[in-house]
Structure 1
Amino acid sequence: MIKDTFDNKPIDEITSMQYQKMIDAYAKKHAKASTSRINGYIRKAIKYAMNDGLLNRDFTFGVIISGSAPKDANLKFLEQNEAAGVKTFCLNNYSFKDIVYCQILFGLMTGCRYGEVCGLTWDCVDFKGKTITINKSYDYMRKTGFKKTKTASSVRTILIDHDLITMLKKLKMEQKEYYFEHKFTNPNKLVFLDKKKEIISNNGANYALKRILEEIGAKNIITFHGLRHTHASMLIGNNVSLDYIAERLGHSDTTITVKTYSHLLQESRERGAAKSLKFLEGL
């Protein structure tokens, strides 16, 4: 967005009015929360520039933040047939050497954030109880290690299905064999540590997901975080209780779930109303 607006223009030549126009243009197609987040990124960069003496004024000061779309209108998720296609592709192609497919399958079937996926350790996988515990995240951007989950309520234990259990068992065995053969260690016991002893970047995961979606002919192209919204939409579409959805996603209460997925919930209510009337008419 900065490149399209200012190209190679030096930052000390950018005016507050020009910056406001860029923010307004973004706000026309995005929610206020998204616009605010973009502004926050840029403001932080400007603060660093001022601290280094590259700027003597903050052109982001006093910017007015607006937005034209409700938050849930910006949510990108897969339709159920597309989600099924992604699942089938990953089940047919995952392995330790193609660990990104393991991550994508895991994200789709759990609704975990990417940092939570990267921060999963083997001690948090209960094969017998068929659960995984999310109690930390991983700084996949700067590779500085573990960090706290987004919120306290994000710490949770959730059930996982047979396909995920099978995938994780195979992954653990292949990882262990490969690391033993190459005299590698995994001191943090990371589940999704690849053959180079690295955590795949979020961009890398997004690129792999995009290839899968193009391969299966999906209409919707989403990022890894869209798998979280897809997971939620599938649960909502199958009339799973809001309490359980909030707990599974790590929301502190159902208010956050309702606020985030209001549009999907409205569709679910309308289907429920129609189903109720049909049932009552048949009494």
Structure 2
Amino acid sequence: MPYFARLKLKDITGKNYQDALNDLKEQGYSDSTMSGINRTGRMIFRKALELELIKKDPTEFAYLKKDKKTVEQLEEEEIPKYLEKEELALFLRTAREQGLELDYLMFLILSYTGIRVGELVALKWKDVDFKNQTISITKTYYNPNNNTLEYQLVTPKTRKSRRKIIVDEEVINTLMKHKEVQNEVVEKLGDTYHNEDFIFAKIERQFGYPIVIKTVQNRMARLLRIAELNTELTPHSLRHTHTSLLAEAGVSLEQIMDRLGHSDDQITKNVYLHVTQEMKKEASHKFAQLMRSLRYKLHVNKMLTIHSHLT
């Protein structure tokens, strides 16, 4: 707005646009924020071009100045933080034993499916097939202001994001128990309950409305503190955790991508490669140990043979 509000679209030049990007960067905005600003700008001017409101797109040759990062920062970005399997077990046990209402089910599903938190809170009972033990992902939750009453359900970002995930029996059984409890609440509250079939629905004030994403984030932070685990982790970290455990279990990258609803994602690839490379190192180490053991046995047998000849 400060840069273009008083200008007509046709009067905005490539230099105007680039100067605006450079100025915003100098104000200290992060690379990710700048990327979002530029994406929005490009969408606006491309639409203007399509509608023939302008003859040339001023964003065509625009570029973003990037923060210069240290080697340590680059290495940290390459492999996102996630929970090891022992840590995940501790986290879920903490959620089950010390979690608030819905905590265990929320984090069990996130951990066992790798779905996004927006996909989680958008889940409805009709998305669950108890007989075939699947959960269908057909929508995601949108609510930038975290206002419970102003939520929107939108279609997933890509065609690949629409998917059906086979889940563990533990997930199905926990869902069944929750459904029984929720049915009692719905019956008790009657018309005061916003009955739109949401699995993760509020049971205090604004009854029946889906919980906001911020609630999931806050609940996870609380459990991480109690379990004395890395408090920098987020619900999205459980998606990376799921990737790492699938990789460790020998599931192919293609199958993992399909399960996560990715057509292509570099972070998922990085996690997968990191885990599989560690497994290869471990295999190499075990092989070397085996060979050392065999050499030792051969050496002992040889010494015993020599000793028997001498005696």
Gaps of 5+ in 1: 1-10, 28-33, 45-61
1:146 Cα shift? Answer: 1.8
- Structure 2 CA distance for aligned equivalents of residues 74 and 18 of structure 1: 31
Residues 243 and 264 (structure 1), Cα distance of their counterparts in 2 relative to 1, 3 Å cut: closer
Encode CA deviations 1:65-113: one digit per residue, 9 max, x unaligned.
3254379536232232221122112233567xx1244222221221111
Calculate the TM-score normalised by the size of structure 2: 0.67
- Which moves more between the two structures, 174-183 or 224-233? 224-233
- Structure 2 CA distance for aligned equivalents of residues 227 and 172 of structure 1: 24
Greater radius of gyration (CA): 2
Q: Aligned partner of 1:209: which letter?
A: M
Determine the structure 2 residue equivalent to 1:147.
Answer: 154
The answer to whether the Cα contact below 8 Å between 2:95 and 2:103 also exists between their aligned partners in 1 is no
1:222 aligns with 2:233: yes
Determine the structure 2 residue equivalent to 1:210.
Answer: 221
| Count of residue pairs brought into register by the alignment | 248
Q: Aligned partner of 2:238: which letter?
A: L
- Structure 2 CA distance for aligned equivalents of residues 16 and 138 of structure 1: 30
Q: Aligned partner of 1:64: which letter?
A: L
Tell me the percent identity: 27
Determine the structure 2 residue equivalent to 1:89.
Answer: 94
Determine the structure 2 residue equivalent to 1:251.
Answer: 262
Say which of 104, 109, 124 aligns to 1:106: 109
1:170 aligns with 2:177: yes
- Structure 2 CA distance for aligned equivalents of residues 131 and 153 of structure 1: 17
The equivalences for 1:1-283 within 5 A come to 19-23=24-28, 26-27=30-31, 34=32, 36-37=34-35, 39-40=37-38, 64-67=64-67, 68=69, 69=74, 72-73=77-78, 75-93=80-98, 98-141=101-144, 143-184=150-191, 185=193, 187-195=195-203, 196-252=207-263, 256-257=264-265, 260-272=268-280, 274-275=282-283, 278-279=286-287
Q: Which SS does the other structure have where 2:164 is aligned?
A: strand
Q: Which SS does the other structure have where 2:202 is aligned?
A: coil
The answer to whether the Cα contact below 8 Å between 2:202 and 2:211 also exists between their aligned partners in 1 is yes
1:169 Cα shift? Answer: 0.6
Residues 157 and 93 (structure 1), Cα distance of their counterparts in 2 relative to 1, 3 Å cut: farther
- Structure 1 CA distance for aligned equivalents of residues 124 and 135 of structure 2: 9
Q: Aligned partner of 2:270: which letter?
A: S
Determine the structure 1 residue equivalent to 2:309.
Answer: none
- Structure 1 CA distance for aligned equivalents of residues 169 and 91 of structure 2: 17
Q: Aligned partner of 1:247: which letter?
A: D
The answer to whether the Cα contact below 8 Å between 1:93 and 1:101 also exists between their aligned partners in 2 is no
Gaps of 5+ in 2: 4-19, 43-61, 295-311
Encode CA deviations 1:209-241: one digit per residue, 9 max, x unaligned.
001000000035212122211211222233322
1:279 Cα shift? Answer: 4.8
Encode CA deviations 1:16-36: one digit per residue, 9 max, x unaligned.
76532344x745xxxxxx354
The answer to whether the Cα contact below 8 Å between 1:72 and 1:263 also exists between their aligned partners in 2 is no
Calculate the TM-score normalised by the size of structure 1: 0.73
The answer to whether the Cα contact below 8 Å between 1:72 and 1:260 also exists between their aligned partners in 2 is no
